[in-house]
Each structure stands twice: as C-alpha cells, then as structure tokens.
Amino acid sequence: MNYGTTKQTVCIEEREVIDGVLLYKRDRSQLWQARIRRVTGKWIAISTKTTDLAEAKAFALKYQKDLKDAQARGEIDVVRKFADVAKLTIKQLEAELASGVGRQTNRDYIHAIRGWLIPVLGRYPVHKIGHAQLMYLDQYRTERLKRRANCSTINNHNAALNRVFKMAVDREFMVPVQIPALFNHGAKANPRPYFDSDDCRLIFEKLPDFTQTGHKICSREARELLADYVTVLYNTGMRPGVESLNLKWNQIKRIKVFPGDGAVESGPSTLRFSVVGKKRPRALVCRDVDGNVSNPLRAIQSRFDELRDLSEESLFRQDEYVFRTRDGSVPNHQRLTKAFKIFLKKYGIEKDAHGKIRTLYSLRHSYATSGLVKDMSMETLAAQMGTSRPMIERHYSKLRPEMKAAELSGWAERPKAEPVNSSAMDLSGVVKMLSEQNKLLMQKLEEIAQQSKQTA
C-alpha cells in the first residue's frame, strides 16, 4: 500500500512495522521515512534521518509512543513551527486570490505574514505563541518603524495572525483555547494627507504638461493615462488600485440627478460607477457637473479605434477595462503611483504642511475632506466611499479652521457687498457737491429776505 505518495514522492520500498506505523523510502533518497496514524485517523509524515532499517523502526516507534502519550494527556501531539503553518496560510490566501474569492485584504495579510510575522515568530511552535512572543513582535515593529505603529497597521497584523491560528486549528496543530489574546497599543489615527484647493488647481493645471514628458513611449503613455486617472479619482472618491483599475465600461451608467424629472436626456444627469470595494460591490455617483468625469473618459475612449466612434450608450456596454494605456494594457498600480510621485516632486507638493507624504490615495482623502467642507453628511460620504461612519469620523473629520473661514469670521451671516462702480462713485460725489451748494444758496436767499423786511 502507498499512503500519500505523489509524483515528487514515489515510494520504492515500504515495510509496515506495526499497526499505525509505516516505513518507506522515496525514489531519490536512501533515508527511511515514516508515516504514523494519529488518534484522529489522519497520517503524519516524518523523516527518521537514517538509512538503517532497525534505527528507523526504533525512531518511528518512539515517535508513535510520544504521540500517544501527548494524546492521552490531552496535549497537542504534533508540533509545527509558526513559520510552517504561516506558509500553509499564504498558500491558502494565494489560492483564494487566484479563484477570485480573495480580496485586497488577502494581499495585505500575505505581506504582513512574510514581512513581519515570520521573521519574529517563525521559530516558535505555533501552539506556544503567547503574550511574551506578542510583546516581542510589538517591540520589533517599533524598532523597525522607528516609531509606534499605527492602530490600523496592528489591526492588519492581528487579522493575519488570526488566519495563521485558524489554519493551525484546522490542521490540529493547536486547539482554540491556545490562541492567545491579541492586543493593540498602536498610535491613534491622524488625519490623512490630502490636497487643498490651491494644490488641486496646481495639479490640474500642470498635469497636461507632465503627460508630454518621459524618455520612453511607455512612460509617456502611462503619464497620459495618469492625467485622466487622477481627475476621475478626485471626482469620485474611488480607491486607487484594485477598485479603480478593475472598472469596466459596462459598469458605468448615466443616470438622472432628479429621478422624477423626465428622461435622462431632458434634465441634468451624471455618471454612476458600479465598483467592487474591499468587502462588497457598491455604486458610487460621480461629481460630473462640468464634465469632470465624462471628459477624461471621452479622452480615454478616443485613444482606441474600436471605441472612438461608439455612442455613449454603446460604449457603456463594452466588456473592457476603462483605465488602459494606448497599447491596450491595464497599468500596474505601482507604475501609476511612481509616476504620480515624480509629478508631485517636480512641482514641490509631495508633502503636506505637516510633512506627510502624499500619494494617489491622497486624492480620495481630498474628496472626503471637500465633501465635509460642503456639509455632506457622514452617512452619505460613507456610502459613497464604501467605508463606515466611524472611519470617516476617525480620519476625515478634523477640518482646518481656514476651511470654514466664512462661518468662523461671521461673514457668512452677512450679505455679500455688491461691487461698487467707479462711475457711480463719481456721480455720487457730484450730487453731494450740488447738495452742499444748494444748501448755501438757500441760506443766502433767507439772509436777503430778512434784510428786505428790515429795510421796509
């Protein structure tokens, strides 16, 4: 019989020692391998690390006895290091992404497991990870970042840890009561870096010139698309990356602004995007009053022969990605991020007033901030951006005083002064002068009348 053999592991010789223990060799190794049946009925594979059959039997039997003793005491009978379970978890996360089930969070978990968890916890048995190891992980984060990690960063690491522990429980490498209590002593969230109105004017003024730069054709094409991409992000609040780059033409629809006001063609209309966010699909309404979104979409349409002459109705039925360069490929998110970083550095707006680095994501923060300045409700903003009200309050509710200068100064309560015409100023001066002369003339006439009465 052959237990668990694969193409890479071919059993060329096997000898059953006793019930529950099987010795065998692989086709490319002289070492004896052993398979031992656990109390659950599952088999585990180990290497005896010897070519001698007698030594291999003794090793396997001792290992089997240790397993049974551990099982009798109610302990974990098979010990696996955290790194081994973490690698199994990464495979599962990657499989979910490949099948379309996984989201962007899967990529975040993979990054956290590889870059942060395995380097610190990898050598420990997974069922013995406790408070001391978690404190060591927290210290490692602080030393590596040279600051206290943000709450959001630690939340991501904790979520990745829970995926590893779940894998360990599923594989019976630990029991649920051995999962340690996770904690979060991270720094409180600060307002996200965004672009104010002056920065935005500079961005949209200089982006057309930036699209003409670049030594390579691929760079110029990427920057050409970047100008349209930035404009759409700023006027929709979409997340850069997966959410926006996966948008297709058939996920766009023109809708009426006032639903009960006749046909779309007869009244004001806007565009609606159907996007897939972090957790679930959602619809968002574009800020398209002056063609802020329609114009960049038409610019993209005009670059493709098969789309150029299509009506809007036909265009919005095409099963093609929207944000593509002239060669038809969807650019990598990192490529657009790098191009935008070069642009910000060129015009000196890479950092905000507090020294925080701005990125493509800052366009989303700018959308949220401008919405709050215009008194958009947090519920509406949360639904539009695919997040929660607490998240809006935590990251976007801290407005600078100058954003509400009219209200704080009291000028919002007074009507705006009408501009004064210079000719009107001249005329009022003439009227005033004539009025004063008329008054003097009346006084002179009264004096003459009194003198006449006295003479008479």
Mean pLDDT over the full length of the chain:
84
Say whether pLDDT at 11 is over 70.
no
Tokens 């059959």 sit at which residue?
Answer: 53
Torsion angles phi and psi, residue 239, rounded to 5: -75, 130
- Structural domains of the chain, count: 3
The predicted-structure confidence for 349-402, as pLDDT tens digits, reads as follows 999 888 889 999 999 999 988 888 888 888 898 889 988 888 787 776 655 555
Per-residue pLDDT, averaged over 118-127, amounts to: 94
DSSP H stretches of helix in 171-322 = 197-210, 217-234, 242-245, 294-301, 305-308, 312-315
Percentage of the chain beyond pLDDT 70 is 81
Q: Tell me if 244 sits within 8 A of 275, measured CB to CB.
A: yes
68 and 87 in a single domain? The answer is no
231 and 275 in a single domain? The answer is yes
67 and 103 in a single domain? The answer is no
255 and 321 in a single domain? The answer is yes
Q: Is 230 exposed, middle or buried (0-12, 13-18, 19+ CB in 10 A)?
A: buried
Within-domain flag for 210 = yes
Note the residue count of the chain. Answer: 456
171 and 213 in a single domain? The answer is no
In this structure, the strands spanning 21-26 and 32-37 are antiparallel
54 and 88 in a single domain? The answer is no
Within-domain flag for 390 = yes
Within-domain flag for 185 = no
Per-residue pLDDT, averaged over 80-103, amounts to: 89
Within-domain flag for 3 = no
Residues 6+ apart with CB under 8 A from 96: 102, 106
In this structure, the strands spanning 252-256 and 11-18 are unpaired
Nearest Cα to Cα of residue 43 among 94, 78, 9, 73: 78
Beta bridge partners of 36: 21, 44
Among 194-203, 274-283, 408-417, 441-450, the least confident range:
408-417
Per-residue pLDDT, averaged over 2-13, amounts to: 44
pLDDT band at residue 442 under the 50/70/90 scheme: confident
Say whether pLDDT at 451 is over 90.
no
Among 115-124, 279-288, 334-343, the least confident range:
279-288
158 and 202 in a single domain? The answer is no
Predicted pLDDT at 414:
54
106 and 219 in a single domain? The answer is no
Predicted pLDDT at 189:
66
Question: Given its phi and psi angles, is residue 36 left (phi above 0), alpha (psi -120 to 50 degrees) or beta?
Answer: beta
Say whether pLDDT at 431 is over 60.
no
Task: Name the most confidently modeled range: 7-16, 23-32, 322-331, 394-403.
Answer: 322-331
Within-domain flag for 53 = yes
Predicted pLDDT at 6:
40
Task: Name the most confidently modeled range: 49-58, 118-127, 168-177.
Answer: 118-127
Q: Output the DSSP codes for 141-186.
A: HHHHHTSPPBHHHHHHHHHHHHHHHHHHHHTTSS-GGGSPPP---P
Say whether pLDDT at 271 is over 50.
yes
Say whether pLDDT at 104 is over 70.
yes
Beta bridge partners of 26: 11
Per-residue pLDDT, averaged over 239-258, amounts to: 92
Predicted pLDDT at 387:
87
DSSP state of 424: H
Percentage of the chain beyond pLDDT 90 is 47
Predicted pLDDT at 327:
93
Predicted pLDDT at 324:
96
Last residue of a domain, one of 127, 144, 178: 178
Within-domain flag for 416 = no
Last residue of a domain, one of 72, 92, 121: 72
Per-residue pLDDT, averaged over 224-238, amounts to: 95
The domain that holds 251 is classified in CATH as: 1.10.443.10
Say whether pLDDT at 281 is over 90.
no
274 and 208 in a single domain? The answer is yes
- Our CA angle for 364, 366, 372, nearest 5°, is 110
Predicted pLDDT at 424:
43
Among 72-76, 149-153, 346-350, 387-391, the least confident range:
72-76
106 and 165 in a single domain? The answer is yes
Tokens 């002239």 sit at which residue?
Answer: 326
Say whether pLDDT at 12 is over 70.
no
Predicted pLDDT at 179:
94
pLDDT band at residue 245 under the 50/70/90 scheme: very high
Per-residue pLDDT, averaged over 237-241, amounts to: 92
Say whether pLDDT at 455 is over 70.
no
244 and 326 in a single domain? The answer is yes
Within-domain flag for 456 = no
Say whether pLDDT at 103 is over 60.
yes
Q: Whole domain around residue 330: which residue ranges?
A: 197-406
The predicted-structure confidence for 329-351, as pLDDT tens digits, reads as follows 999 999 999 999 999 999 999 99
d(CA 288, CA 269): 8
Nearest Cα to Cα of residue 158 among 126, 191, 125, 134: 134
**57 in helix, strand or coil?**
helix
Last residue of a domain, one of 178, 207, 234: 178
Burial 377-415 (b: 16+ CB within 10 A, else e): ebeebbbbbbbeeebbebbbeeeeeeeeeeeeeeeeeee
231 and 365 in a single domain? The answer is yes
